[in-house]
Amino acid sequence: MKPLGRFVVGLLVLAGVGVNAQEEAWPPLPKQGFISGRTATRADVAAGNAVFVPEVGGVSVGRPLAIVIPQYAYYKEEGNKAPVIIVQAEEVQGMKMLGARRANGKHVVGLLENFELLGRAPPGR
């Protein structure tokens, strides 16, 4: 994984992901509580609409990625896959980063390559 550089990830909460994908059910996609088409602000994180704030010296360094938000995905780490919902997608200093929420409300931030994007239909249905 690439280092995240010198930007500040505001109010970031990382979730443990050592859970088998079959142990959690897929919730419905949210109708709010995500951002799309723009970079996140500290106010977005405080309101629960974003997971991280990409900024350096108080200035945003993020650019929105053109992917469907929200959508289902698996977050992959150390051989495990955890079901998540993507709520944010930004390019930050050349890195494609996603913010996601697990069914239990915990947040995950990672590089695009650590996610398996599944689209808007619940997997297995």
pLDDT per residue over 1-60, tens digit each? 444 444 444 333 333 334 444 445 688 999 999 999 999 999 999 999 999 999 988 888
Percent of the chain with pLDDT over 70: 79
SS3 category, 44: helix
Of 117, 26, 19, 20, the C-alpha closest to 74 is 117
